Structure 1
Amino acid sequence: PKGKGPQGKRITLKVAKNSVRVAFNGRRRLDLSKMGIAIFPKCILELAEVEELDLSRNMLKKIPNIIEKFQNLMWLDLHSNQLDELPAAICTLRNLTYLNLCNNKLKALPEEFTLLRNLRTLNLGLNCFETIPTTLGSLRELIELGLFDNALTIIPKSVKKLPKLEKLNVKRNPLPEFAEEEEPIDTVKRIESLYLVEKKDLCGSCLQTCQGERNELHTLEDVTPGSSNKPNFSSFVTPNSSARDNEEEWRMK
């Protein structure tokens, strides 16, 4: 019988055909999201030429091997189902550039997953991954990678160093590097001590540098209105020219 039952809603070919849309990029998208589907509808094999397939927000527990018939797929959304494994057949979809597997029950990826070399966006967030294979680093076209809300304790270097990766989301994982907040970086350069030396004690290049900075200070003083009553320590030069205005405070003892 038709309708929603223990096995979820049954999708007919007529319903599927009426669910084909043309996306903004001109691709044909079969949108079967939010339909209460629990079993992959075999009737959609009649529409296997579509470039995009949306089966998100259903109750799917398994993707059958017949997914390999969708060889034109460039975009596949399976997020928010009940998948606990992926078939190796999904890795034959070599044209995929977008794959969303977020919010399922996945613990591992098929060994053949590295064959999806055209992937640019991959979302594995909100799953049950404890490790991510180092071979994921072979997906060198990846631009965005979501690994948030898993049980990861390490991110392979091969993944961190993906050449085109722009966004890597690893939030809410028990990663050691995020266990403690980093101390704030003090961007202000502070002088612990200042030494005044006589000109005769400086090497030639140091003397030239200090004299150049002193000349710059004199130039600034010439264009600054008002006279200064500060004493002149002409026999001393400071390696740090910013201290000149505070010479009274830095007198030699």
Structure 2
Amino acid sequence: MGIAIFPKCILELADVEELDLSRNLLRKIPNFIEKFQNLMWLDLHSNQLDELPAAIGTLKNLTYLNLCNNKLTTKGLPEELTLLKNLRTLNLGLNCLETIPTTLGTLRELIELGLFDNSLTLIPKSVKKLPKLERLNVKRNPLPEFAKEDEPIDTVKRIESLYLVEKKDLCNSCLEMCQGERDELHKLEDMTPGPSNKPSFPSLITPNSTAMNNQEEWRIKDNNP
């Protein structure tokens, strides 16, 4: 049986950089969470949380926040969440969210965002256009088909390194590989779908399972024994 109340004794560890309270029965996160100013990694997945305190926004060094598999509603997400300017990974999957605040688009450092298994019917453009976002998971939401297909994340625009060489500098095996890729591309270009066919785009993140088995997808490192 997990803990149901955030233990005050944990304040003695307020200088830690990582805190894992996942797989418990926590219903509330107390305001004294603001004492953990060095915190960079916070895992609260698989609890009973239905809201977050405004004090969460004081954790300015936080880069990883896992809130997957709770009972969070849209009203339970405080506006102060957008103050986490260094946040790179945010997992809100397996909750009760009906909408996503457009203000999440201010989290400019966000690289991974999990919104799977909610009740979302729209993903704000401000969120989809986050400049560093590489992986977005919106699986198993009641999104309209056009919303699922609209504007997939353009990884070409965000490529970090591009190497261009002249054809004469390529070895024979590289030339054969490039020719094969070119042939495949021509085949795709020749396949002109009818008006009823819709293009499909692969999802960007393999979702967590029902939070127990595949949390490693979102956890930065394994639990310590």
1:75 corresponds to 2:76 = no
2:84 counterpart residue number: 116
Distance 1:118-1:181 versus aligned 2 partners, 3 A rule: closer
CA distance in 2 between counterparts of 1:181 and 1:168 reads 13
Q: Distance in 2 between matches of 1:114 and 1:127?
A: 19
1:154 pairs with 2:122: yes
Q: Work out whether 1:39 is the aligned partner of 2:40.
A: no
Question: Which amino acid in the other structure matches residue 35 of structure 2?
Answer: K
Aligned with 1:133 (options 88, 101, 108): 101
The whole-number CA distance in structure 2 between the counterparts of 1:179 and 1:52 is 36
Q: Aligned partners of 1:71, 1:177: CA distance in 2, in Å? A: 42
Give the whole-Å Cα distance in 1 for the aligned partners of 2:128 and 2:119.
17
Q: Percent identity?
A: 84
Q: Name the aligned partner's letter for residue 187 of structure 1.
A: L
**Alpha carbons of 1:178 and 1:170: their partners in 2 closer, same or farther (altered >3 Å)?**
farther
- The alignment covers a number of residue pairs equal to 154
TM-score, length basis structure 2: 0.65
1:93 aligns with 2:59: yes
Change (3 A) 1:180 1:129: closer
Task: Flag the 1:181–1:142 CA change in 2: closer, same or farther, 3 A.
Answer: closer
* SS of alignment partner, residue 187 of structure 1: helix
Q: Say if 2:141 is the partner of 1:173.
A: yes
Per-residue deviation, 1:112 = 1.1
Unpaired stretches in structure 2, ≥5 consecutive residues: 151-186, 193-225
Greater Rg by CA: 1
Q: Secondary structure at the match of 1:76?
A: strand
1:187 corresponds to which residue?
188
Residue 187 (structure 1) shift: 2.1
Partner of 1:95, secondary structure, is: coil
**What's 2:27 paired with?**
61
Which structure shows the bigger proportion of residues in strand conformation? 1
- Which structure ranks higher in relative contact order (CA pairs < 8 Å, sequence separation ≥ 6)? 2
Once the two structures are overlaid, the 10-residue window that deviates more, 170-179 or 121-130, is 170-179
Q: Retained in 1: the 8 A contact 2:122–2:147?
A: no
